[in-house]
Structure 1
Amino acid sequence: MSTILPEAAVSASDVPVKPARRTADLVAAGLLTPDAAAAVESVTRRYAVSLTPYVVEQAAQSPGGPVYAQYIPTPEEAYTAPGENGDPIGDDVHSPVKGIVHRYPDRVLLKPLHACAVYCRFCFRREMVGPGGDALTADELAAALAYVREHPAVWEVVVTGGDPFLLAPRRLAEIVQGLAAMGHVGVVRFHSRVPMADPARVTAELVAALRAPGLATWVAVHVNHADELTPETTGALARLADAGIPLVSQTVLLKGINDSAAALENLFRGLVRHRVKPYYLHHPDLAPGTSHFRPTLDEGRALVRSLRGTVSGLCQPTYVLDIPGGHGKAPAAGEWVSPTAEGWEAADFRNQKHIYKD
């Protein structure tokens, strides 16, 4: 990363910690020098910046470290590599109504909003999310829920976005109760960065809103490095787990942040220790301006192989490649993805083959 670091980050004890939503805020927080802020101004006009006060404090404790590098913009983001595009996993082609993505027969994504508490620099939806991003109106949410109701093959609803934990508990409860009233829906799964980025938001009221009789609620937490497992964030995880909500994790394999066996071991063991089952290790998607985060598939496969026998099966997620073009996920460590003369051949869940180029 080429970000110019300040000589000393501002201590949380020096000034009240505020959210950072502009480059000027990052300078004020001691996270960028003025020169570095000027160097990324064009980047931040295109891709949203937002750090919660909690993340500002965590990033300031270790400038250039694994938390800092996930959230602070760099000049490298201005470069769009060949193959990168604004919808790298093909959500749009599988969206029959606003807020719904129906890629697999038995499950849908429900995206009630496009805002997040924080904006990761490697986000695969970075062209679609941002402050003031689209949220479904009451009529649009009703139409999205009606789509689920009218498709009895849908057994699982994945609520994502954006970050659904930004919704008020009342609105979360309305979604959960609406799904629980549909006899064919058995599982609702929430995907959220909030437990890691704004753990105080995971209140007893929010946790209670996630549950309804007759519906199994799961939460998938986005976490990329063991440094994110602090007393505050593990407390948020405990509030969810103690309420009987099963927890899984999603991790993105990121060059310079967690692309070592030691970093992954520490993260996955830490998650299991706090009752979170590592679920997916994502190969980074081909989102614009993210090539500096992306290891090669060969590197990722070697890392995953190195974990076999080193950590418990409980600590082993599935390493997955989201096949560009909307074809779904392929396990990337085994026979589903194989090298060819053209690059890599990835088999989707229908065993149709697609070429992927690093």
Structure 2
Amino acid sequence: MIPKATFPHATDAEWRDWRWQQRHALTSAEALGRVVPLTDAERRGLALAEGRSRIAVTPYYASLMDPDHPSCPVRMQVIPAPGEATLAFGDLEDPIGEEPHRPARAIVHKYRDRALFLAVDRCAVYCRHCTRRRITFGEDGAFDRAAVDEGIAYVRAHPEVRDVIVSGGDPLVLSDDRLEAILAGLRAIPHVQVLRVATRAPVTCPMRITDDLAAMLRRFAPLFLVTHFNHPKECTPEAREACERLVDHGVPVENQTVLLRGVNSSARILGDLFERLLTFRVRPYYLHQGDLAAGTSHLRTPLEAGVEILERLRGRTSGLAIPHLAVDLPGGGGKVTLQPTYLLGEGEQGGRGHWLRNHRGERYFYPEPPGRDCTCPYEEVYYGGADGALDGARADGRAAPEGET
């Protein structure tokens, strides 16, 4: 068993302790080499990363690495490849344009009604595809209590913000008390309706999801936990237990997968992953096209790869198991979603309508109803005036891009 071979003196109680897992994270080629026989390419990638980016793998997540196959999806997500040191066409330090919308150290406010709260710049495991690597891999500095207080004050001063995503870094590297203080500060703001916590802990350190933590998160409902499974290999009994503990305590869990070349870039792998997540009572929410983060081009897929995967999944698995394929546009343009095209065009067959195809390529005619007026007469009565709810949906007053933070 890899864990005992690597940590022969670890007791069962220590192994199940999330603090022990974080304290004993593997952070060097020497430590990783005791778990798996490193290839020359992996050693070169680790050497090139030294002094340039952070490396850390919890013993639990390291135990999922296949020692016999360098193509193991866990190894590829945590051991730097030499390609990280090479900038490719289109690579950006700030790939989704957060910095121009960062009015406070802990805040990214790209959309009028949503704000991202950066609670911490550290993670228990540093994923090599990280989109915020300028913060989590670099020397951005600690997100201290002053930064947290400033961030909460910013949200309090902006009544248009109804949804706050607490992220980082991974906020679950914080103690329960520190995380609770952040959530309590945000929940005390009357106009904040929804909280989200973005974390990879159920995947990389599932022992972090304790009964105490789950109960604490439930107190701030409506609160959603958004996690990040990328491969079925990560769907362990421990991960299932973590997800089910959250759901049993009343905390809904959703998943955002990143499409990674050579890791999960096949319909078979992703279909398996999404179906397993549903058995964990976790909803597949987004399949993310890789962001243009500097040093990640070797892990990014062509756009058509993701569309083709969705095409293969549609009609072959439950719609619940098919997430939105999202592209976060470079430079702060926001998220847009892509999907296969099923609309073939207008036509007539005894009347006006549209031709569509199904997942097997068969054509079907959908007749249009008479008339095109789709107004709802009671809308102005119910809402008390004309619709202006979506006007100026960006924080800067410009028209909002499709999608969400």
Instruction: Bin the TM-score by the shorter chain.
Output: 0.7 to 0.9
Residue aligning to 1:257: 263
Q: What is residue 164 of structure 2 aligned with on the other side?
A: 157
Q: 1:207: which partner in 2?
A: 214
In the alignment, which residue of structure 2 is the partner of 1:298?
A: 304
Deviations 1:105-151 (A, max 9, x none): 11100001110000111111122104886332222211100111111
**Equivalent residue letter for 2:125:** V
Alpha carbons 2:77, 2:127 under 8 Å: kept: yes
Tell me the CA shift for residue 39 of structure 1: 5.1
Per the alignment, residue 77 of structure 1 pairs with 84
Determine the C-alpha separation between the residues in 2 that align with 1:199 and 1:59.
16
Confirm or deny that 1:122 pairs with 2:113: no
TM-score (normalizing by structure 1) = 0.87
Query: Is the partner of 2:273 in helix, strand or coil?
Result: helix
Contact 2:3–2:59 under 8 Å retained in 1? no
Give the secondary-structure state (helix, strand or coil) at the position aligned to 2:172: helix
In the alignment, is residue 89 of structure 1 matched against residue 80 of structure 2?
A: no
Residue of structure 2 in register with 1:237 after alignment: 243
CA distance in 2, matches of 1:300, 1:218: 26
Residue 139 to residue 315, structure 1, CA distance change in 2 (3 Å)? same
The answer to whether the Cα contact below 8 Å between 1:318 and 1:331 also exists between their aligned partners in 2 is yes
What is the count of residue pairs matched by the alignment? 331
Whether the 8 Å contact between 1:180 and 1:212 is mirrored in structure 2 is no
* Aligned mates of 1:146, 1:31 — CA distance in 2: 49
- Quote the Cα distance in structure 1 between the aligned partners of 2:171 and 2:37: 28
Deviation string, structure 1 residues 185-233 (Cα, Å, up to 9, x no partner): 11110010111001111112222222335x4010001110111000011
Note the 1:143-292 alignment, pairs <5 A: 143-212=150-219, 215-292=221-298
Percent sequence identity is 39
Give 5+ residue unaligned stretches, structure 2: 9-23, 342-392
Distance change (3 Å), C-alpha of 1:114 and 1:95? same
SS of corresponding position for 2:100:
helix
Query: Residues 36 and 329 of structure 1: is their aligned pair in 2 closer, same or farther, counting only changes over 3 Å?
Result: closer
In structure 2, C-alpha distance between the alignment counterparts of 1:39 and 1:14, rounded to whole Å: 24
* Residue 65 of structure 2, aligned match among 59, 72, 93: 59
Give the distance between the partners of 1:188 and 1:39, measured in 2 at CA. 38
Distance in 2, matches of 1:256 and 1:35, equals 16
Q: Distance in 2 between matches of 1:136 and 1:266?
A: 37
TM-score by structure 2 length?
Answer: 0.77
Cα distance between partner residues in 2 of 1:125 and 1:114: 9
Evaluate the alpha carbon distance shift between residue 66 and residue 120 of structure 1 in structure 2; reply closer, same or farther with a 3 A threshold: same
Cα distance in 2 for residues equivalent to 1:54 and 1:275: 22
Report SS of the residue matched to 1:210. helix
Q: Supply the RMSD in Å over aligned alpha carbons.
A: 2.2
Tell me how far 1:69 sits from its aligned partner.
1.4
Q: Which residue is 1:343 aligned to?
A: none
How far off its partner does 1:238 sit? 1.0
